[in-house]
Structure 1
Amino acid sequence: MGGNGLEIRELECFLVLAEELHFGRAGERLYISQSRVSQLLAALERRIGARLVERTSRRVALTTLGQRFLAELKPSYTELVSVVARTRAAARGVEGTLRLGFQGTADARLMGAIESFQERHPACATEIVEIPFADPFGAVRRGDVDAAIVLLPVAEPDLVLGPVFSSERQTVAVSVRHAFAGRSSLAAAELAGTPLIAATDPAPAYWREAHAPSGPPAPAVRTLQEGLTLVAADRAAMLLCRPTADYHGRKDVVFVPVDGLPDSVLGMVWHRDGETERVREFARAVAADAE
């Protein structure tokens, strides 16, 4: 753009120079000569009508106006780059690989969402990975997966909670030798004196409490299989949603429905810095499948 408009190259040059505070290093990062850096800066300063950078033989520094310009320009430029990237991705369609983590069971609703997503975006492959019961958010934070389907609640400031779905009645898993094993259902109050297996760290305390309300001391586990093994040994009981209970059924464990507990609910989460067009499109598929 000419005249009084904006020249993106001038803005890029200013941003890099503001980081490096060195014309030579700025030129190296931009793959241009040091003199070209000076030319672009001078053109921007003429367009602005004031000096943005002070240069002496000893140092390069931003003027007060340059500091203010940098503070306001940087987030706007970052968003502009993101807009271009998102539009380019939309123009090309959703491609590549979407890595999905899941807790407990990849049930019919999740598989239905994956199938819908694949039909709409055949150029994007999906990989599904089970994540540990006791680490619902770690895989997303580490970048091992692009998004994860996890048990709620989620109160992590660095994560986005997307579509919520698959609300299911809770059951309590007990040994076939347990006093509850012959019951057709239980009231929540009857669990007050029953040790309930919880998750170990790094699951947050609020998340552990939601899935094993405070009661008598009980073991803590990292995986569902560890928990069910302890249940089978009659060491404690464990709360599980109905589909997970059905999936992990075994002869030495009984799953008894519990009345009066909040339903177990799944939600899709991803990192705030890791939102891509693939993630957004899968979130739409999950939301549509949950309707």
Structure 2
Amino acid sequence: MGGVEIRELECFLALAEELHFGRAGERLYVSQSRVSQLLAALEQRIGARLVERTSRRVRLTPLGERFRAELRPAYDELAAVVDRAKGAARGVEGRLRIGFQGTADARLMEAITTFQKRHPACVTEIAEVPFADPFGAVRAGDVDAAIVLLPVAEPDLVLGPLFSREPQTVAVSVRHPFAKRAAVGAAELREVPLVAAAAPAPAYWREAHAPSPVPAPAVRTLQEGLTLVAAGRGAMLLCRPTASYHGREDVVFVPVRGLPDSVLGTVWHRDGETERVRAFARAVADATAVADAAA
């Protein structure tokens, strides 16, 4: 890079955002004159002006605008590489926030236990992810990674290890015609209203978990859905462990034949991938492999 120093690039990026030499210096903990020196050195290396300064304002030249647009993502990626290397060097520590959708069952707890045994310096926190917003907590940064129901077709999210595959059941009122059945077929579900997730869950995700053209209420939580089921307002698809966990006297869970299994997967934001997240993904994969082998 022709001897360009990282401090020169940091100075330019700070100045490009602040458009003020004094404020840029405050951000970098250097004097205003040092900002001028670093900028001058960078411009000399490049061979053209990047910043225009008058007595009234500071602005980027057209070349400076293009340089900033191309430099920012490269600089951010370089900083992320350094952070990942530092994290790997000192081990996994700090705090890992894990979201889960549905039920925090034995498999999830085994994955968390595996992670904690490997990384005792990292504290784990667990939070439930709303049924109607499977990806919101990850996007908002409320959790670092989450175990959510598939499908996941979000370009800003990474789909990591699959967590489990479980047969589907349909929750119906004890008064529903399906309640006395040993099982129902997938085609039969298209004839009954299936309670679906409300927005902001994506349309493709809602349709995957309520594959019926018959109109039915939309809900935000599993408990809302089961309450509507108990009231005879519709049926609801749930995986077997979630059905077992949420068992109630006024709702019957009937196995469904002909539907793909319900699958959970680990997701995190592409911009939020850390060594802690990668270590948790490895723990999920290993704990799942052990559970599958024992099944």
The normalised TM-score by structure 2 is: 0.90
Q: How does 1:204-219 map to 2 (within 5 A)?
A: 204-219=202-217
> Could you tell me how far 1:273 is from its partner in structure 2?
2.5
**Structure 2 counterpart SS, 1:126:** strand
Q: In 1, are the aligned partners of 2:147 and 2:163 still within 8 Å (CA)?
A: no
Instruction: Give, in whole Å, the separation in 1 of the partners of 2:219 and 2:51.
Output: 58
Residue of structure 1 in register with 2:256 after alignment = 258
> Could you tell me how far 1:109 is from its partner in structure 2?
2.0
Residue of structure 2 in register with 1:43 after alignment = 41
Q: How does 1:242-257 map to 2 (within 5 A)?
A: 242-257=240-255
Is 1:176 matched up with 2:180? no
CA RMSD of aligned residues (A): 2.0
Is 1:276 matched up with 2:274? yes
Residue of structure 1 in register with 2:106 after alignment = 108
Residue of structure 2 in register with 1:200 after alignment = 198
**Structure 2 counterpart SS, 1:127:** strand
Residue of structure 2 in register with 1:143 after alignment = 141
> Could you tell me how far 1:64 is from its partner in structure 2?
4.2
Name which of structure 1's ranges 127-136 and 240-249 shifts more when overlaid on structure 2. Answer: 127-136
Instruction: Give, in whole Å, the separation in 1 of the partners of 2:269 and 2:171.
Output: 33
Q: In 1, are the aligned partners of 2:43 and 2:50 still within 8 Å (CA)?
A: yes
Is 1:54 matched up with 2:52? yes
Count of aligned pairs: 289
Letter in 2 for 1:11: L
**Structure 2 counterpart SS, 1:234:** coil
The change in CA–CA distance for 1:253 and 1:44 in structure 2 (over 3 A counts) is: same
Deviations 1:56-84 (A, max 9, x none): 44443434443443333222211111111
The change in CA–CA distance for 1:192 and 1:80 in structure 2 (over 3 A counts) is: closer
Residue of structure 2 in register with 1:75 after alignment = 73
Residue of structure 2 in register with 1:7 after alignment = 5
Letter in 2 for 1:280: R
The change in CA–CA distance for 1:45 and 1:227 in structure 2 (over 3 A counts) is: closer
**How many percent identity over aligned positions?**
81
**Structure 2 counterpart SS, 1:180:** helix
Q: In 1, are the aligned partners of 2:97 and 2:127 still within 8 Å (CA)?
A: yes
Alignment match of 1:191 (pick from 189, 192, 197): 189
Instruction: Give, in whole Å, the separation in 1 of the partners of 2:157 and 2:167.
Output: 26
> Could you tell me how far 1:26 is from its partner in structure 2?
2.0
The change in CA–CA distance for 1:62 and 1:130 in structure 2 (over 3 A counts) is: closer
Instruction: Give, in whole Å, the separation in 2 of the partners of 1:19 and 1:202.
Output: 33
